[in-house]
Amino acid sequence: MTTLAAGPATRRRRASSTVWRVLTYLALILIMAPAAWLLIGVLARAWSHWQWSVLWTTLTPTGGGLRDQILGTLILMVGVFIIAGTVGVMAGIHLAEMARPNKRSGRLSGPLRTASDILSGFPSIVLGYVGYTALVVGLHWGFSLAAALIILSIMVIPYIAKTTENSLRQVPTGYREGAEALGMSMGYSLRKVVLKSALPGIVTGLLLALAIACGETAPLIYTANFAPTLPHSLTHASFPYLTYVVFQYYNAPQANYHALSYDAALILVVIVLLLLVSSRIIVARTQRHAESARGAGGGRRRRRGGGAEDEPLLGITGAPPR
Amino acid sequence: MTTADGVAGSIPVTPRAESVGKPKLPRRIRDFARRNEEHAWRGTAWVAVVLPLAALVFAVSVLAVKAWPAIRVNGWYFLYGRNWTYGSGYGTVVHTGGVAHPMGSQFGAWAIIWGTLASSIIAIVIALPLSIGAAFALTERMPTWISRPLGFTIEILAGIPSVVIGLWGILTFGPWLANHVYPVIADHMPDVPVLRYFRNPVGGGEGLLSAGIVLALMIVPIIASTTRDLFMQVPPLPKEGASALGMTDWEVANKVTLPWVRSGIIGATVLGLGRALGETIAIAMIGGASLQIPHTVYLPFTTVAATILSQLDGALTDGTGFAVATLAELALVLAVISVAVNLIARLIVNRTGRVGAPVGGA
């Protein structure tokens, strides 16, 4: 190689390749640096004055803690988990197992899927406004937990449906065929075979949806408003949550409130990190199980992915992009 | 595969085997449940899958009904006008076409719509090349022990609540840009048509460019992680073949990998665009909330979403309810834009291939 004299075309090609390589690294740095700055910045701002009592004292006009805001956010997450989790998973089951592909084009489309896709890209503030108009004012619920839960759930249902559908599609067709060959009814095989092996993916999707839900602010301002302490009723009572504290208190007149705003930001980041890390652990554990079941080489196949020659014959996983 | 596998191994030989040892329900109830289980699954699943469609139809009709008086009074001026005033706050009410509104109120939302489009375009222009470059660096050039944690960092960035990013933007990042970056750019920009918008004054860090950069940071994870997943799905053989033919890294990327996943990247970009168009809270914090089109890219502006959020309190003071109806019209405009973007993306993707994996999916 070195003995050959490189012509101008070769030199240009080598140079373009080097430039490309440098640019890709530069792009990675330009993304990583602000991300790291953001995480460290949030941590540093809150850490300099951190007091653990923030976690168990309530908000007062001069300062205090964020106990009820944290609980409020957790209650919202549990509610969304129950409502959006049920509806979203069932919708995903329908999209993956029951909706038939279009006979002529063979493509999976149709109004239901389109509606779900559009809803997942729908601006959250618009949903918040609809919640305000229809639930808070229209149904006379007032600013309330109920209105906030419904709007938040509608926001994340398409997301859960999508992740459920995708993880159901990862279940090898052989499992379903085997179940049918054993004479299982469709419902029984869904319950005992298909859903069981798709469960890790579904749970991961649910956790990520919760991460989205706990970080929302705009639709909550329109539906839950804000309260310093937890109310005792589902309707007609404003509801506390963390994101509002971040949004409103960083430039509040009381200096104590600035600290609360940074604390709330840190707590939110910690909640999101816990959710992401646990979803990561679930994925890693299932991959390990899958690899031990498939025998050696499963790991590499997962990484390289998509090579048609090493896919199981009946598998529908990793279909090539076209 | 069937014997060693944990899942397949746990399947009972017949459904009946499972009920052995449990307290038995009366046979008729059990048989009824077994016969109708499939109906129950299908029924519930159908209800669940219809709900998003119902919610969408409901949301758009609520907006349309609520916005109708405003649409009739504001007319087309709403889309091209630049004057946004609530009119007399002292109870002087006039009627136009049977709709009551305060005297002197005039709602032209062009500056707001312009701000939405401009900030989203800035965000896409910054985020798309960065995401593709980073996805390449992560998938093609790095050992797994580096690319895994870096990829996870990008996923964390996707999960950070937008209000936290907004807080960092307004307190740390915006001021830093205004003190150290913008002056350098502004002082060296020539006074020619497009670049004129990058000249002084640079403002205090609350403005269009700051918001665009922060938006870019928020949509980078969407585009980058989808693009990374797509790159991983490109089979290795064509790439190795291209390398074996003597192609350089850049040529392999440009001629093999990128064409393979183009439609997926378009899909991911439009997903990101949708997120940028609808982003509310971060813009409300660092946009500066000015209802005018800014003279330079550094100055305050606003978007449709941020206006809906910040103007509600003001609009509620309008006794005729007309200002609230106008906000509904604004929300309707945003909904139409985002639905249109989504449908166009589906059209592109359907014509050329299929959409990539969703963000952060397992």
A-chain residue closest to B131, CA distance: A27
B99: three-class secondary structure by DSSP: strand
Per-residue pLDDT tens digits for A237-290: 999 999 999 999 998 888 888 999 999 999 999 999 999 999 889 888 887 766
Per-residue pLDDT tens over the stretch B298-343: 889 999 999 999 888 777 777 777 888 889 999 999 999 998 988 8
Predicted ipTM of the assembly: 0.84
Per-residue tokens: B42: 């299908």
C-beta atoms of A162 and B249 within 8 A? no
Rounded to a whole number of angstroms, the distance from the CA of A114 to the nearest CA of chain B is 8
Between residues B38 and A237, the one the model is more confident about: A237
Q: DSSP for A58-112? A: -EETTEE--HHHHHHHHHHHHHHHHHHHHHHHHHHHIIIIIPPPPTTT----SHH
In this predicted structure, what is the pLDDT of residue A304? Answer: 39
Q: Does the CB of A238 have a partner CB in chain B at under 8 Å?
A: no
Q: Determine the distance from the C-alpha atom of residue B97 to the mean position of all C-alpha atoms in its chain, rounded to a whole number.
A: 37
Confidence (pLDDT) at A298 = 38
A94 at interface of B, judged by CB pairs closer than 8 A: yes
Phi, psi for residue B99 in degrees, rounded to 5: -105, 125
Is it the case that residue A295 has pLDDT exceeding 70?
no
B309 touches chain A (CB under 8 A): yes
**A303 or B42, which is more confident:** B42
Contact B277 A123 (CB under 8 A): yes
- Cβ within 8 Å, pair B159-A24: no
Phi, psi values for residue A35, rounded to 5°? -60, -45
- B-chain residues within 8 Å CB-CB of A34? 173, 217
Give pLDDT tens digits for A150-207. Answer: 999 999 999 999 899 989 988 888 888 899 899 888 888 888 888 888 998 899 899 9
Taking the alpha carbons at both ends of chain B, their separation in whole angstroms is 22
User: Are B15 and A184 a contacting pair at CB < 8 A?
Assistant: yes
Lookup: tokens for A78: 């549990």
Q: Which pair of tokens denotes residue B94?
A: 């006039």
- Give the β-pairing of A59-60 and A63-64: antiparallel
> Is B331 close to A126, i.e. CB distance below 8 A?
yes
Show Cβ contacts of residue B212 under 8 Å, excluding neighbours closer than 6 positions: B118, B119, B122, B123, B126, B297
Rounded average pLDDT over B131-156: 87
Q: What is the pLDDT of residues B50-103, one digit of tens each?
A: 888 899 999 999 999 999 988 888 888 888 888 887 776 666 777 777 777 777
pLDDT score at B350: 67
pLDDT in the model for residue A264: 94
Compute how many other C-beta atoms are within 10 angstroms of the C-beta atom of residue B49: 26
The count of other CB atoms within 10 Å of the CB of residue A24 is 24
* CA-to-CA dists, residue A83 to A77, A138, B102, B239, angstroms: 10, 22, 42, 45
Distance, in Å, from the CA atom of B217 to the CA atom of B122, rounded to the nearest integer, reads: 11
Task: State the smallest CA–CA distance between residue B209 and chain A in angstroms.
Answer: 16
CA distances for B77 relative to B50, B98, B107, B202, B328, angstroms: 37, 18, 8, 31, 16
Nearest CA among B111, B122, B120 for reference residue B77: B111
Nearest-CA distance A255 → chain B (Å): 15
- Give the span between the Cα atoms of B173 and B214, in whole angstroms: 9
Mean pLDDT over all residues of chain A? 83
Question: Which chain A residue has the Cα nearest residue B166?
Answer: A247
- Picking from B1, B140, B168, the nearest residue to A41 by CB comes out as B168
Answer whether B156 sits within 8 Å of A27, measured CB to CB: no
Kindly give the pairing relationship between strand B99-102 and strand B93-96: antiparallel
